[in-house]
Amino acid sequence: MNASLRSRLGAKIFFSYLVIIVVDIAVLFIASQFILPSAFNRHMMGMGSMMGSEMMNEMMGGTSSMPQLYADFRASFNEALMYATLAAMTAALALSFLFSRSVVAPVLAMSHATQRIAAGRYDERVQVKGNDELAQLAQRFNEMAEKLNQVETMRRRLIGDVSHELRTPLTAIKGSMEGLMDGVLPAEDDTFQQIHAEAERLNRLVDDLQELSRVEAGAYPLDIRPLDVPSLVQTVTKRLALHAQSKRISLDLDLTPDLPPLLADEDRTVQVLTNLVSNAIQYTPEGGKVSISAKRINHEIQISVRDTGIGIPPEHLPHIFDRFYRVDKSRSRQAGGGSGIGLTIARALVEAQGGRIWVESNGEGTGSTFHFTLPI
Ligand SMILES: Nc1ncnc2c1ncn2[C@@H]1O[C@H](COP(=O)(O)OP(=O)(O)O)[C@@H](O)[C@H]1O
Ligand SMILES: [Mg+2]
C-alpha cells in the first residue's frame, strides 16, 4: 500500500510537471511556425538595408539564397528546442522526485500513525518539520492524538473510580445480608435501615453519575434568558431553609441593590447554587453561619457562598472540583455526604453558561467561600 501511494502521488506530481513542459514546448513550437519566418525576414531586411545587398551576398558566401539561410536557421532552432525539451524533462523528473519525497514522506508518516492510533496506541506522534501546511497538519494531528490520549486516560480512570465507588456500598449490603442469613446479625430495624441507607447511597451515586454524564456531554438544552438574581437566591434559600434550621445554621443574604439580570438558564443556576449552599450547610457545624452574596463585577455577576464551617486545607483546594474528590472520605460519609460529584456538576454547569467557579479557604476550621460568575 505504501509503495503504491508513493508511486501514485509521486507520479502525479511528475506528470503534472511533464504536462506543463509539453504544453510549453508545443506553444513555443507553434508560435515559432507563425512568427519565426516573418520575424526572420524582417530582421534580414533590416540588416540588408543597413549593409547594402552586395555586402549581404558577400557575407553569405554569394552561394546561399535567403530560403536556404532560413532552412539552416530553422534546423538549428529545432535542435536547440529539442535539447531544451530534454533538459526540461530531466529537471522535471529530478524536481518532482525531490518534491514528491518531501510531500509523500510526511503524509505516509501520518497515515501510519493514524493506523497505530486506531489500533489503540494513543501515544503515537509524528515529527513536525518546517512550518508549511504539511507541518501544520502534522502539528494538528499531534494535538488531536494528545486529546485522544487524555480522553482515553480519563475514561480508564472514570471506570476505575466508578467501580471503586460502587464497591463500597455493595460490599456493605452484601455483608449485612450475609450476616442476616447466617443469623450473625439480628433481624432488626437497625440492620434494615443500614442496608437501606447503603442502597440509598448507591441510588444517589448512580443519579449523580447520570447527571454528570449528561452535563459533561452537553446533552441537555440550556434555556438562557434574563434572570432576576434576588428571586433566584430566594428560591434556593427557601428550598434549603429547613435543612439549615435543623442544624441551627443561619442563612444570610447580602445582595447589592439594583443588580442587573443574569443571562443564564434558571434551573441550572438554581442547581449550582443549591449545590454550593447545601455543601456549605453540610460542612458547617451546628450554630454556624452561611451567607450568600451577589455583586456586579464588570459584565458579570459574582455570586458567593461563604460558610463558617470546617474549611478546606490548601493542598485539597486544586482538586475540590474533580470527580469523586472528597477531602475526607470517611468524614463526608458520616456526614451523609455525597459521592464527590456535586462540585464537578456545578463546575460543568457554570462553564457551560460562560462563567467561572472557584473556591477560597484559609485552611481547616476557618470556613470556605465558593464563588461563581455568570454573564449579565
Ligand atoms: N463548604 C464546604 N466546606 C468544606 N468542605 C467542602 C465544602 N464544600 C465542599 N467541600 C469538600 O469538597 C468535597 C467535594 O464536594 P462535592 O463535590 O459537593 O461532594 P460531596 O458529594 O462529598 O458533597 C466534599 O467532599 C468536601 O470535602
Ligand atoms: Mg456536595
Q: Convert the pLDDT of each residue in 221-237 to its tens digit.
A: 888 999 999 999 999 99
Residue 134 lies in a domain: no
Residue 235 lies in a domain: yes
Domain range for 305 is 225-375
Residue 30 lies in a domain: yes
Into how many domains does the chain fold? Answer: 3
pTM exceeds cut of 0.75: no
Distance CA 359, CA 165 (A): 25
| Pair (231, 370) in one structural domain | yes
- 103-111 long-range Cβ contacts below 8 angstroms, 24+ apart: 103/9, 103/13, 103/134, 104/5, 104/6, 104/9, 104/10, 106/134, 106/135, 106/137, 106/138, 107/5, 107/9, 107/134, 108/2, 108/5, 108/6, 109/138, 110/137, 110/138, 110/141, 111/5
330 vs 244, higher pLDDT: 244
Phi, psi of 342 (to 5 degrees): -55, -50
pLDDT of 54 strictly over 70:
no
Residue 145 lies in a domain: no
Q: Is 290 in the pocket of ligand 1 (CB under 6 A)?
A: no
| Pair (249, 180) in one structural domain | no
Residue after which a domain boundary falls, among 121, 149, 180: 121
Weakest mean pLDDT among 53-57, 59-63, 176-180, 181-185: 59-63
Most ligand 1 atoms within 8 A of CB, residue of 332, 357, 370, 371 to mutate? 332
Residue 69 lies in a domain: yes
| Pair (207, 238) in one structural domain | no
Residue after which a domain boundary falls, among 95, 121, 147: 121
> According to the model, what pLDDT value does residue 336 have?
53
Atom of ligand 1 nearest to the CA of 339: 21
| Pair (361, 239) in one structural domain | yes
pLDDT of 158 strictly over 50:
yes
Q: Convert the pLDDT of each residue in 266-311 to its tens digit.
A: 999 999 999 999 999 999 999 999 999 999 998 999 999 999 999 9
Confidence of residue 1 (pLDDT cuts 50, 70, 90): very low
| Pair (291, 336) in one structural domain | yes
Q: Is 339 in the pocket of ligand 1 (CB under 6 A)?
A: yes
| Pair (39, 97) in one structural domain | yes
| Pair (171, 44) in one structural domain | no
Residue 143 lies in a domain: no
| Pair (259, 237) in one structural domain | yes
Question: Distance, CA 202 to ligand 2 centroid (Å)?
Answer: 15
Residue after which a domain boundary falls, among 103, 121, 139: 121
| Pair (101, 9) in one structural domain | yes
| Pair (280, 201) in one structural domain | no
Cell of 275: 449545590
Mean pLDDT of 69-82: 86
Residue 191 lies in a domain: yes
Most ligand 1 atoms within 8 A of CB, residue of 283, 319, 339, 371 to mutate? 283
| Pair (203, 243) in one structural domain | no
| Pair (357, 265) in one structural domain | yes
Residue 227 near residue 261 (C-beta atoms within 8 A): yes
Question: Distance, CA 341 to ligand 1 centroid (Å)?
Answer: 9
217 vs 344, higher pLDDT: 344
Residue 129 lies in a domain: no
